[in-house]
Amino acid sequence: MIHPVAWLAWLGAVLTALSLTRNPFYLALILLWISLVAAWSRPTAGTAPIPISPLRFGLVVVTFSALFNMLTVHFGDTVLFRLSEVLPLVGGDFTLEALAFGGLNGLVVSGLFAAFSLVNRLLPVRALVRLLPRAFYPVAVVASIAVTFVPAMLRHFEQIREAQAVRGHRLRGLKDWLPLVMPLLIGGLERALQLAEAMTARGFASADRPANEIRIRLGMVAGMLLLLGGWLLRLAWRQEGLGLVLLLAGAGLILGMLWQVGRRVPRTVYRPEPWRLEDWGVAISAAAVAAAFLFYLPGLDRSTIFFYPYPALTKPRFDAGMALVTAALLVPVLRQARRPRPVATQPADKRASGHFTGEPGLPGSYLMEASDDQL
Amino acid sequence: MRQQALSLAVYGLSTAIGLAAFLYPFWLPAVPTPAIMGQAHSQDAPLLLSLLVGLCFVVLLLEVQGQAVSAKLMALLGILVAINSVLRFVEVAIPGPGGFSPVFFLIITTGYVYGGRFGFLMGALTLLVSAMITGGAGPWLPFQMFTAGWVGLSAPLCRPTVWLLQGEGRQREVLVLAAFGGLWGLIYGAIMNIWFWPYASGPVEHYWAPGVALVETLKRYALFYVTTSLVWDALRSTGNVLLILAAGLPTLRALRRFKRRFAFDYRPVFDTAPTGSRRNG
């Protein structure tokens, strides 16, 4: 298994590359790499099944977005046919260029969807909770309580349904949900009270954590002002360079403050996920892909990533170097193909719905992971 | 005083930037641009937009979570989020019609009873946790969390109306909440579409002309909305209304009862007496 942070880097690279390029060659290559990684990796035990298959999603989105763009953008030289201008908005020339541009945009969105559903399938819920930044410690505790109690709540829901069914309860209309949902809610609130008492008894409430200090909040406000300023400069006054500097400064300030807050929360990890050599490989190759799409690097023709079908559809340019760089997205496959790392987490949980790895009951282990100083 | 001003500044700024970022496809065409607008520029806009919304959300969440540090609130939030995720899970397993989703019901009622900050956390965390569980995390997640948070944050806005109607504990209160839920059902869909909009809309300069741009963009967005999501959102909106009408009164009663039960305060008692005098039996 590849480290969750390495997966995040991979996702970041895919996100950057996909949102910057509209060149059909590169788009197709990136989609190909994503599907190869998906084909070679097996889902981790304890992750959710994907509700919609990325392929089906992609087909629908590409078709829809191409047709919609052709219907509403009447621009471009290659006119396929025309509708009377009397029709509002839809009337006018229907061009090949608009169709192509819409289709390309659809490809981008389906690539994003495929990449994220791949990572969702590979990372267990626990790893996702652990990815929350340290500064969001209360949020992480709430999320882990919730994740831990979901299987218990599902079982509770089943019990209530059976109990009501024995009494002759039938689901016919909306009102019939009431006898199912209300006991779930009231029972849950009752449990929350017990959990609060248990946490208090373990000393959770005694830690008096002050609200964020003035310095931190001032930093946040200043960071947001910088962001706003930089964004407006770039958009409205075309000050590309200065705007970018301000944007970066604002983002840096906010992230720095976040780090400052997080530093005060010591976190110990019960079962650390090792960071191996392969994880470096994934992270570095992801950084390389992102860099190639973001900056002009020597030896690569970055300008080929910008493809623009208007006003007349031309053959998109292709740079072999750039294409080779995108292949770095395949690095996770090398790791997955070499040897299956023994699953470091607990055996697959067959209880309840089979999608969760969390043990029901008190979220002891999660709390320990979230913060030891509280217990 | 200063604390409150700062808090207000954080809420105001993050909401304003978030709103501006959400709505930028509409106001961007109104900004005069030189004819040779770089292609690069129009293409990095969605990426920049996601980053901006994400950062604003980080700031807002950091500010709001400062309120939820007590064990009681954490436990209550955790369990309510779990219940809501179960409802969403049931919905994924047995799909309701269209955009119908039972999660907004609890976000609105808890925000209304327990306050806007609780509602914000409830909305944002419900979406976060259920995305983790059902495998629905993606670049749209910050937008979803932001918007669902807004639903909860704005729920206390119903209070003055209910107070005016003197409807607390009566059917009138539920009617107000149902109208609120119906409205948000539509707005939520419209906002979530905007995430997708930069991808669906062509480059802005093609239909840019002074003064016409905004109208034109709005027209296209209206067409986009009607073709893609009006039916879907109408179903979600109706679902919200029906759910609140059917289960509103008993839920409000239960939430209020537990609000009273949760109103205890825990104060650690420090033994200030010298250790020698402690009676150890």
Cβ–Cβ below 8 Å for A153 and B82: yes
Interface test with B, best of A8, A154, A224, A295 (most B CBs within 10 A): A224
Predicted local confidence at residue B207, as pLDDT:
42
- The more confident residue out of B70 and A291 is A291
N- to C-terminal Cα separation, chain A: 31
Asked whether the whole model's pTM tops 0.80, one would answer no
Of A138, A227, A308, the CB nearest to B74: A138
Cβ–Cβ below 8 Å for B137 and A193: no
Predicted local confidence at residue B107, as pLDDT:
92
pLDDT over 80 at A11, yes or no: yes
CA distances from residue B63 to A132, A220, A288, B3, B149 in whole angstroms, order as listed: 16, 10, 35, 11, 13
- The more confident residue out of B239 and A74 is B239
| pLDDT tens profile A250-264 | 999 999 988 888 887
What torsion do the CA atoms of B212, B216, B218, B220 make, to the nearest 10 degrees?
Answer: -170
Nearby residues of A257 by Cβ (< 8 Å), 6 or more positions away? A216, A219, A220, A223
Cβ–Cβ below 8 Å for A227 and B46: no
Picking from A198, A150, A185, A141, the residue whose alpha carbon sits closest to that of residue B74 is A141
What distance lies between CA A99 and its chain's CA centroid?
29
Amino acid at residue number A148? T
pLDDT over 60 at B235, yes or no: yes
Nearby residues of B209 by Cβ (< 8 Å), 6 or more positions away? B216
Q: For residue A227, list chain B residues with Cβ-Cβ distance below 8 A.
A: 17, 52, 55-56
Give the span between the Cα atoms of B110 and B118, in whole angstroms.
7
Interface test with B, best of A150, A233, A296 (most B CBs within 10 A): A150
| pLDDT tens profile A337-374 | 555 555 444 444 444 343 444 434 333 333 333 333 33
Contact B114, A111 (CB under 8 A): no
User: Which residues of A, range 71-110, sit inside 8 Å of B by Cβ?
Assistant: 71-73, 75, 88-90, 98, 101-102, 105-106, 108-109
User: Averaged over A285-309, what is the pLDDT?
Assistant: 84
Cβ–Cβ below 8 Å for A48 and B137: no
Predicted local confidence at residue A351, as pLDDT:
40
Cβ–Cβ below 8 Å for B134 and A141: no
Of A68, A142, A218, the CB nearest to B6: A218
What string of H, E and C letters represents the secondary structure of chain A?
CCCHHHHHHHHHHHHHHHHHCCCHHHHHHHHHHHHHHHHHCCCCCCCCCCCCCHHHHHHHHHHHHHHHHHHHCCCCCCEEEEECCCCCCCCEEEEHHHHHHHHHHHHHHHHHHHHHHHHHHHCCHHHHHHCCCHHHHHHHHHHHHHHHHHHHHHHHHHHHHHHHHHCCCCCCCHHHHHHHHHHHHHHHHHHHHHHHHHHHHCCCCCCCCCCCCHHHHHHHHHHHHHHHHHHHHHHHCCCHHHHHHHHHHHHHHHHHHHHHHHHCCCCCCCCCCCCCHHHHHHHHHHHHHHHHHHCCCCCCCHHHHCCCCCCCCCCCCCCHHHHHHHHHHHHHHHHHHHCCCCCCCCCCCCCCCCCCCCCCCCCHHHHHHHCCCCC
Q: For residue B226, list chain A residues with Cβ-Cβ distance below 8 A.
A: none
Predicted local confidence at residue A207, as pLDDT:
52
Burial of B278 (0-12, 13-18, 19+ CB in 10 A): exposed
Nearby residues of B260 by Cβ (< 8 Å), 6 or more positions away? none
Of A22, A65, A106, the CB nearest to B43: A22
* Beta-bridge partners for A95: A79
Interface test with A, best of B10, B57, B74, B207 (most A CBs within 10 A): B74
On average, the pLDDT of chain B sits at 76
Interface test with A, best of B42, B60, B79, B114 (most A CBs within 10 A): B79
Q: Centre a 10 Å sphere on the Cβ of residue B268 and count the other Cβ atoms it contains.
A: 10
Of A22, A71, A205, the CB nearest to B266: A205
Cβ–Cβ below 8 Å for B206 and A75: yes
Report whether the peptide linkage leading into residue A54 is cis, meaning its omega lies within 30 degrees of zero: no
Tokens 């669902």 map to which residue? B148
Predicted local confidence at residue A141, as pLDDT:
85
pLDDT over 70 at A280, yes or no: yes
Predicted local confidence at residue B31, as pLDDT:
52
Of A120-124, A366-370, B20-24, B100-104, the one with minimum mean pLDDT is A366-370
Give the span between the Cα atoms of B210 and A212, in whole angstroms.
46
Cβ–Cβ below 8 Å for B200 and A108: no
User: Averaged over A289-316, what is the pLDDT?
Assistant: 81
Predicted local confidence at residue B159, as pLDDT:
85
Closest chain B residue to the Cα of A199, Cα to Cα: B71
For chains A and B, CB pairs below 8 A equal 282
User: Averaged over A83-97, what is the pLDDT?
Assistant: 73
pLDDT over 70 at B196, yes or no: no
**pLDDT band with cut points at 50, 70 and 90 for residue B10:** confident
**Is A313 touching B (CB cutoff 8 A)?**
no
Contact A134, A141 (CB under 8 A): no
| pLDDT tens profile A128-181 | 888 888 888 888 888 888 888 888 888 888 888 889 889 987 777 667 778 888
Cβ–Cβ below 8 Å for A147 and B242: no
pLDDT over 90 at A287, yes or no: yes
> Which tokens go with A17?
């590359």
Of A116, A139, A247, the CB nearest to B61: A139
Q: For residue B46, list chain A residues with Cβ-Cβ distance below 8 A.
A: 19
User: Averaged over B209-223, what is the pLDDT?
Assistant: 65
**Is A20 touching B (CB cutoff 8 A)?**
yes
**pLDDT band with cut points at 50, 70 and 90 for residue B214:** low
Predicted local confidence at residue A30, as pLDDT:
92
Give the span between the Cα atoms of A51 and A40, in whole angstroms.
20
Cβ–Cβ below 8 Å for B6 and A214: yes
- The more confident residue out of A73 and A341 is A73
pLDDT over 50 at B279, yes or no: no
pLDDT over 70 at A246, yes or no: yes
Cβ–Cβ below 8 Å for A196 and B75: yes
| pLDDT tens profile A306-319 | 877 777 777 888 88
Predicted local confidence at residue A208, as pLDDT:
52
Cβ–Cβ below 8 Å for A142 and B243: no
What share of chain A has pLDDT > 90, as a percent?
6
Give the span between the Cα atoms of A221 and B62, in whole angstroms.
12
Q: What angle do CA B79, B81, B84 make, to 5 degrees?
A: 110
pLDDT over 90 at B101, yes or no: no
- The more confident residue out of B124 and A214 is B124
Q: For residue A138, list chain B residues with Cβ-Cβ distance below 8 A.
A: 65, 68-69, 74
Predicted local confidence at residue B212, as pLDDT:
54
What share of chain B has pLDDT > 70, as a percent?
71
**pLDDT band with cut points at 50, 70 and 90 for residue B35:** very low
**pLDDT band with cut points at 50, 70 and 90 for residue A267:** confident
Predicted local confidence at residue B40, as pLDDT:
45
**pLDDT band with cut points at 50, 70 and 90 for residue A283:** very high
Nearby residues of A284 by Cβ (< 8 Å), 6 or more positions away? none
| pLDDT tens profile A14-67 | 988 888 888 889 999 999 999 888 888 776 666 666 667 788 888 888 888 888
What share of chain B has pLDDT > 90, as a percent?
4
> Which tokens go with A373?
């100083």
